[in-house]
Amino acid sequence: MYHLTALVTLLAIAFYLFTCINVSRSRTKTGVKVPAMSGHPDFERAFRIQMNTLEWMPIVLPSLWLFAIYISDAVAAGIGALWIAGRIVYFIGYSKAAAKRGPGFLIQGIAAIALWVGAIGAVVLRVV
């Protein structure tokens, strides 16, 4: 069973939902009306945090599950939790200033690459 990976998946989705709510709150706070996608730096940063999270999810979630299936549920969940932690650091930094997004991006990027490399390596080893 993959209980830990399932939990991390649900936490990743919860974090994404949080970023969606944050964009809505930012619209209200900054006065950026729908359908505008720009107009205030605070809103634009909130929106980019949400979109960047969404852009990474199709890379991370399949890799997370394939890693869990082919290697280890616990290790996949640990790396997935690190990815979420990186997204949180990214959120905190980028919310303050665009220049402060780097550390969180690095953490989540390393976690995502580890999941993908592990998954592809394990799959290829079984195919060959």
In contact, 123 and 66? CB cutoff 8 Å: yes
Band (pLDDT 50/70/90 cuts) for residue 91 is very high
Gap between the Cα atoms of 24 and 6, Å rounded: 27
Q: Can you read off the two tokens belonging to residue 96?
A: 């303050």
Band of pLDDT at residue 102, cut at 50, 70 and 90: very high
Q: State residue 70's pLDDT score.
A: 98
Q: What does the pLDDT average to over 86-95?
A: 98
Q: Could you tell me the CA-to-CA distances from 23 to 26, 40, 62, 122 in Å, in that order?
A: 5, 12, 26, 38
Q: For 3-127, which CATH class?
A: mainly alpha
Tokens of 75: 């290790």
62 backbone dihedrals φ, ψ, rounded to 5°: -65, -40
Percent of the chain with pLDDT over 90: 100
**Confidence category of residue 126, pLDDT binned at 50, 70, 90:** very high
Domain ranges of the chain: 3-127
pLDDT of 38 reads 96
Give the residue ranges of DSSP H helices in 31-127: 41-70, 73-96, 102-127
In tens, the pLDDT along 25-79 reads 999 999 999 999 999 999 999 999 999 999 999 999 999 999 999 999 999 999 9
What percentage of residues in the chain have a pLDDT greater than 70? 100
Rounded Cα gap, residues 44 and 58, in angstroms: 22
- Which of 93, 114, 113, 1 minimizes the C-alpha distance to 48? 93
CA-nearest of 106, 83, 109 to 93 is 106
**Number of neighbours of residue 59 by Cβ within 10 angstroms:** 15
pLDDT for 79 equals 99
